[in-house]
């Protein structure tokens, strides 16, 4: 059975219903919660197979390791983006709003497919595990770019796709094409996040949540750009709040192989 999401505006939170699958589900956190992101200094120069610590307030600590060689067309950096609370008729969640700094993976596209040298992988570890209120945040999926995500719990068991959910937010786009972004199950992994339309969606923000605490992550990026988008990139970060707000994000499990939840 495939479930569809109905969105109803009920300020100050959004309410989503998985038709024939679940009761009403509250989405959001109490206004005023402070969401933290990890530091970014040193990301662009991460040495191969060398764990590096990043400051991440609200967590037990974080290390990141580049576990593969950089593809010949891949370059690394950081980017700072400012998001407003609202854009057009859409509302951005608290962990997106404000000035945020992201890790950035860029690719210098070639003249024709197939595109070589478009991959890079990372392992991220969180001391004590991330709180289930935390988010895996991604911005700017273009032209079939994708990241395969393997999330592991405190016992090093692979977290299932059914334990996760994705929230798509407009970011800076007043007319976002949410249908271009897919979070779906993927063999041997927790899931795969990708652009399925071969188009530039630089403003949409995808936030992935897990009902199981994440202790370790493996990100496998494949930039795989289409000719329609030159020099594409993906930005990513993590968001954590020291204590859950009065209203916590509740996830929807078992909505099929590909699920999208709209906010707005």
pLDDT tens, per residue, the chain with 264 residues: 333 333 333 333 333 333 333 333 333 333 446 899 999 999 999 999 999 999 999 899 999 999 999 988 899 999 999 999 999 999 999 999 999 999 999 988 655 555 678 899 999 999 999 999 999 999 988 777 899 999 999 999 999 999 999 999 999 988 888 888 999 999 999 999 998 876 666 678 999 999 999 999 999 999 876 656 677 889 999 999 874 443 333 343 443 445 555 555
| Domain residue limits at 225 | 33-241
Report d(CA 14, CA 204) in Å as an integer: 18
The span from the CA of 176 to the CA of 96, in Å, is 15
Q: Looking at the domain assignment, is residue 232 inside a domain?
A: yes
The number of folded domains in the chain is 1
Q: For residue 172, is it within any domain?
A: yes
- Contact 55/39 with Cβ under 8 angstroms? yes
- The pLDDT tens digits of the residues spanning 85-127 come to 999 999 999 999 999 999 999 988 655 555 678 899 999 999 9
What pLDDT is stored for residue 246 in this prediction?
35
The pair of structure tokens assigned to 120 is 């890079």
C-alpha to C-alpha distance for 12 and 19, rounded to whole angstroms:
22
Contact 199, 176 (CB under 8 A): no
187: in domain: yes
8 A C-beta contact, residue 140 and residue 170: no
pLDDT of residue 252: 39
Q: Residue 200 has what pLDDT?
A: 62
Determine the Cα–Cα distance for residues 41 and 1; give it in Å rounded to an integer.
Answer: 46
Q: Is 6 a member of any domain? A: no
Q: Is residue 2 part of a domain?
A: no
């Amino acid at each position: 059975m495939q479930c569809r999401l109905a969105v109803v505006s009920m300020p100050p939170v959004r309410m989503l219903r998985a038709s024939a699958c679940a009761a009403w589900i509250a989405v959001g956190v109490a206004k005023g919660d402070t969401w933290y992101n990890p530091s970014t200094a040193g990301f662009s120069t991460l040495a191969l197979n060398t764990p590096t610590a990043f400051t991440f307030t609200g967590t037990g600590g974080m290390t990141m390791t580049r576990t593969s060689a950089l593809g010949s067309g891949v370059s690394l950096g950081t980017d700072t983006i400012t998001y407003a609370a609202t854009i057009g008729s859409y509302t951005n969640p608290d962990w997106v709003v404000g000035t945020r700094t992201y890790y950035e993976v860029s690719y210098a596209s070639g003249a024709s497919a197939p595109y070589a040298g478009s991959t890079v992988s990372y392992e991220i570890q969180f001391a004590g595990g991330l709180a289930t209120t935390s988010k895996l945040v991604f911005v700017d999926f273009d032209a079939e770019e994708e990241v395969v995500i393997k999330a592991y719990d405190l016992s090093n068991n692979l977290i299932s796709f059914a334990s996760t959910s994705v929230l798509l937010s407009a970011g800076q786009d007043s007319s976002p094409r949410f249908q271009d972004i897919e979070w779906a199950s993927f063999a041997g992994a927790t899931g795969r996040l990708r652009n399925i339309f071969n188009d530039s969606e630089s403003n949409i923000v995808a936030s992935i949540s897990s009902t199981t605490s994440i202790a370790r992550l493996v990100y496998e990026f494949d930039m795989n750009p289409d000719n329609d988008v030159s020099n594409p990139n993906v930005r990513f970060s993590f968001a954590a709040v020291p204590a859950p707000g009065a209203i916590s994000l509740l996830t929807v499990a078992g909505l099929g192989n590909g699920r999208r939840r709209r906010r707005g």
